[in-house]
Amino acid sequence: MELLTPAPALDLLAAPQRDEGLLQFEVFPWNDNFSTGNALIDSQHQRLVDLLNRLAGTLVGSLECEVEAAFAELTAYTDYHFSAEEQIWADCFGDDLWRRNHEAAHAAFLPGLQELKREGSGQPLYQVVESVVKFLIRWLAFHIIVEDKRFALAAAEVRRGMPVDEAKLKADHEMGASSVRLLIDTVLDMYDGLSTRTLNLLRERRARVEAERKLVQAYHDLEAANRRLEATTLTDELTGLFNRRHFDAVFATEIGRARREGTTLTLVLLDIDHFKRLNDTYGHIAGDEALVRVGAKLREFCRRAGDRAFRLGGEEFALLACGNSPSGRGADFVEAIRCEMAALAIANVASDVERTLTVSLGAVIRVPNAGDSPQSLFREADRRLYDAKQLGRNRAVCG
- The total number of residues written for the chain in this structure: 399
Contacts of 183 (CB under 8 A, 6+ apart): 33
Q: Which of 315, 340, 354, 380 is catalytic?
A: 315
215: number of Cβ within 10 Å? 10
The DSSP code for 350 is T
86-89, long-range: CB within 8 Å, 24+ apart, which pairs?
87/4, 88/3, 88/4, 88/38, 88/40, 88/41, 88/155, 89/151, 89/155
Helix or strand run (H / E) with residue 320 = strand 316-322
d(CA 45, CA 265) in angstroms, rounded, equals 85
Residue 329 dihedral angles phi and psi, to the nearest 5°: -125, 15
Contacts of 242 (CB under 8 A, 6+ apart): 234, 235, 236, 250, 308, 309, 310, 311
Ranges assigned E (strand) in 3-161: none
**Given strand 265-272, what is the order of strands in its sheet?**
308-313, 316-322, 265-272, 359-366, 396-398
What counts of helices (H) and strands (E) characterise the chain? 13, 5
Examine the residue annotation and report whether 103 is marked as an active-site residue of this protein.
no
d(CA 311, CA 269) in angstroms, rounded, equals 10
Kind of pairing, strands 359-366 and 396-398?
A: parallel
Conformational region of residue 225, where left means phi above 0, alpha means psi within -120 to 50, and beta covers everything else: alpha
d(CA 46, CA 326) in angstroms, rounded, equals 95
Residue positions annotated with a catalytic role:
315
